[in-house]
Amino acid sequence: MAEEVENNEEEKKEEGKKSNLMIIIIAGFLVLLLVIGGVLAFILSGGSEEQPDPAIEQSVEEGTQQKSTYRRKSSLTVGPMLEMETFIVNLLSENGRRYLKVRVNLELEDEELQEEVNTKIPVLRDIIIRIASSKTLEEISTEKGKEKFKDQIVSEINHNLQDGKINNVFFTDFVIQ
């Protein structure tokens, strides 16, 4: 009787080992299927790149041009530059202890604008100081905030010019303290 109990225990252990082995085999097979499916999906999605609709591309491009018409398509070609002196202004804050030190270069539309801009340097400096001092730390510390800051400068300066326009503003020094 003791032998029968021993034999039954050994058979149960062997069956347990077989069932564990079977579970491992099935799990491995499922993992292999998932890997193969992922590879196939990657290959199929990469091989069939869709061409964008030209009408949609054109409308997106027109919207971008309308949003910021002064931006050039290629940043490698720039127009004549006017280097402004450094500006140090108090940022708008509750305690007034935040400062912005910024150096600005203005990209002119053409050389003919240089004469008008040179006569209006005090006006241009005033515009930049007014805009900069109306900003908070939160507004100008992000990339989007800096772009909005540039847009405002370009818009205000162009509003005060008669012979041409400013294409872009470049910050060559930008320190917040």
* pLDDT tens column, 119-130: 999 999 999 999
Order of strands across the sheet with 166-176?
A: 81-90, 99-108, 166-176
- pLDDT digits (tens), the chain, 177 positions: 555 556 666 666 667 677 788 888 998 888 888 888 877 777 877 644 444 545 445 544 554 444 444 444 455 788 899 999 999 999 988 776 889 999 999 999 888 889 999 999 999 999 999 999 999 999 999 999 999 999 999 999 999 999 889 999 999 999 998
What angle do the packed helices 121-133 and 143-159 form, to 10 degrees?
140
| Domain range summary for the chain, segments of one domain joined by + | 2-50, 81-176
Beta bridge partners of 100: 89, 176
pLDDT at site 70: 47
The whole-number pLDDT of residue 84 equals 92
The class of domain 81-176 in CATH terms is alpha beta
| Per-residue model confidence (pLDDT) at position 73 | 46
22 touches 15 (CB < 8 A): no
The structure's pTM equals 0.57
First to last CA, the chain: 90
The position carrying tokens 């491992």 is 24
What is the model's pLDDT at position 2? 55
Per-residue model confidence (pLDDT) at position 12:
65
pLDDT value of position 128 = 94
Backbone φ/ψ region at 41: left (φ over 0), alpha (ψ -120 to 50), beta: alpha
Give the CA diameter of the chain: 115
- Give the pLDDT score at 68: 47
d(CA 67, CA 55): 18
